Structure 1
Amino acid sequence: MSEDIKDVMNIRDVKIKDLSANPAPLGLMGFGMTTVLLNIHNAGFYPLGAVILSMGIFYGGLGQVIAGIEEWKKGNTFGATAFTSYGLFWLTLVVIVLLPKFGDNFAGLALTPTDFAAYLFLWGLFTLYMFIGTLKATRALQVVFLSLTILFFLLAAGNYMGNPAIIKIAGYEGIFVGFSAIYAAMGQVLNEAYGKKIVPL
């Protein structure tokens, strides 16, 4: 047996260099832009309409799920869990809004303040534990997840108590959340494009 064949047979581990793109900016932009639009509504500037729902289905929803699957392929458990979960959050939110409108058979599924508050509260708990995970990441991600935790709890409280003032405050806070995610996304894109730190993260 030749030495070359023996060398091949003795290989135990093969390292493959990952040349795929960073999916995080896609996920952060999908989350950030959709969050800004929804919370401009929560702040009272315009009613819930097709623009928000379409963004929730496609960019905030499917876009983040795609980013999450790509993070999974890269072996990033945090990114896979975060983007896939928040993508599915947007999809479930759209279904929660639209399902009761699909005829009389679904009329009994109309949203109540209590069950919507429970839904938002659970997402707040999820985001709180994800925030703990960001303590090992960049300051920009810490800001996104901490402010998002506050947003979910504010929205849960506002809906549970039926308090429009809290929901309006949450709307302004949510606009900040969305723009902080957009900042984090653009920071990653521009820093990679220029090969140096253009945007501090």
Structure 2
Amino acid sequence: MSENNGIVTSVLKESTGNPAPLGLLGFGMTTVLLNLHNAGLIEMSAMILAMGIFYGGLAQVIAGIMEWKKNNTFAGTAFISYGMFWGTFVAIKLFPVLGWAEAPTGKALAAYLFMWGLFTFVMFIGTLRISRALQVVFGTLTVLFMLLAIGDFTGNHALINIAGYEGIFCGFSAIYTGLAQVINEVNGRVILPLGEVKK
């Protein structure tokens, strides 16, 4: 706090933690679990839907709001958007069961996934100025959405299974990126590299 010509001014110090690991882990862990299903390794169940609502959805939205308050437009947009993706995904699964809406056709799901793939591709371009780790996350996520869109459009279940394995890799890349930020911050130095881009 300082006084200048009788006017008292104060400077607020940023005292909140880094919300990015929360968002990345919420996204990554939920993505791995859903894509274990897409790969044909586990059944769709309440476990995946619950992760989608709470960790993939709610936790990412919270992280996004925190990033927004830190003036990080990229992370705020990404986490809030993908948090809402999980919300819409769960709604797509539950609304038909509850009798609130018809189940989407394969072509409707393809359109949904294509739009998310397009959004992710543009966000990937943004990662070219941030880090190699995020480039892997957003690059593989773009491929995942497009593979799933093509699989749903054509009804090719083998392609959806392939997309599942690619999605497992995508999810683990996000988990690595989130945990690396935590480990590096705790140790005060780079333990797990993220490939920060020099600006």
SS at match of 1:46: coil
Q: Give CA deviations for 1:69-114 in whole Å, capped at 9, x if unaligned.
A: 00001000001000000000000000001000113xx3x5112100
Larger Cα Rg: Structure 1 or Structure 2?
1
Which residue identity is paired with 1:153? M
Partners of 1:175 and 1:6 lie apart in 2 by: 57
Q: Report the number of matched residues.
A: 193
Structure 2 unaligned regions, length at least 5: 195-199
- In structure 2, the partner of 1:23 is 19
- In structure 2, the partner of 1:92 is 88
Which residue identity is paired with 2:19? P
Instruction: Confirm or deny that 1:200 pairs with 2:196.
Output: no
Sequence identity (%): 62
| TM-score, length-scaled by structure 1 | 0.92
- In structure 2, the partner of 1:148 is 141
- In structure 2, the partner of 1:82 is 78
CA RMSD, 1 decimal: 1.4
Q: Give CA deviations for 1:22-68 in whole Å, capped at 9, x if unaligned.
A: 00000000000000000000000111101000000000000000000
- In structure 2, the partner of 1:176 is 169
- In structure 1, the partner of 2:160 is 167
Structure 1 unaligned regions, length at least 5: none
**Which structure has the highest helix share of the two?**
1
Distance of aligned partners of 1:190 and 1:100 in 2 relative to their CA distance in 1, 3 Å threshold: same
| TM-score, length-scaled by structure 2 | 0.93
- In structure 1, the partner of 2:183 is 190
